Structure 1
């Protein structure tokens, strides 16, 4: 069984500013984790956070698609699981942009709940970054 998380967030910003927050390593570090991400298809990257008793703090990935400023996807591997994360941006007009997150390949409901909790919190941090 494989589960998929699908979330939508609306931001008051430009699609270009939101795209840069998804694809620039220094900006990603402010709302996701410190990383060596590069917006290049085939680039392997690592997100690192302080380990906890439940998690080693490491996410490894590889960029799968780059369609600036509309769509970005990459693998997201952590704790023995490997998921695919797809970000889709849509300019809604009036200075608003919809950001859709689809994370597929999740193995169980506990992991699905953890992913939903984590991304909801991180996308709240993204909102603060975009407001700067």
Structure 2
């Protein structure tokens, strides 16, 4: 018999950017900009919107869970039977924006 782990794990990445949160928000929410740093998508920053990230190797199915413009973006990330939640948090600083994923 095989035991399947249901343990939840978190990965947190934090970075400082010398740009205002509005600029970082655009990079996270505008499909043509998302494509430059991640993958092609049909993303819209609207709660319950279902979208996909697409690449040569396949796709990732997602659903928008939370949107607070220029502050918080959260969506599900389901690929290869693995389900995750990605949450981006933007915090203005004196020199730009603190981004937490």
State the TM-score, normalizing by the size of structure 1: 0.70
Determine the structure 1 residue equivalent to 2:39: 33
Give the aligned length: 95
Instruction: Output the aligned Cα RMSD.
Output: 0.7
Determine the structure 2 residue equivalent to 1:18: 24
Gaps of 5+ in 2: 1-6
Q: Which has the larger radius of gyration?
A: 2
1:28, CA displacement in angstroms?
0.5
1:8-38 deviation line (CA, Å, top 9, x unaligned)? 0111111100001001111101101001001
Pick the structure with more helix per residue: 1
1:1-132 residue pairs with structure 2 within 5 A?
Answer: 1-51=7-57, 57-94=58-95, 96-101=96-101
User: How far apart in 1 are the matches of 2:70 and 2:45?
Assistant: 11
1:37-75 deviation line (CA, Å, top 9, x unaligned)? 011111000001111xxxxx2111000000011000000
SS of 1:6's partner is coil
Pick the structure with more strand per residue: 2
Gaps of 5+ in 1: 52-56, 102-132
State the TM-score, normalizing by the size of structure 2: 0.91
1:2, CA displacement in angstroms?
1.3
4+ residue stretches of structure 1 with deviation over 3 A? none
1:93, CA displacement in angstroms?
1.4
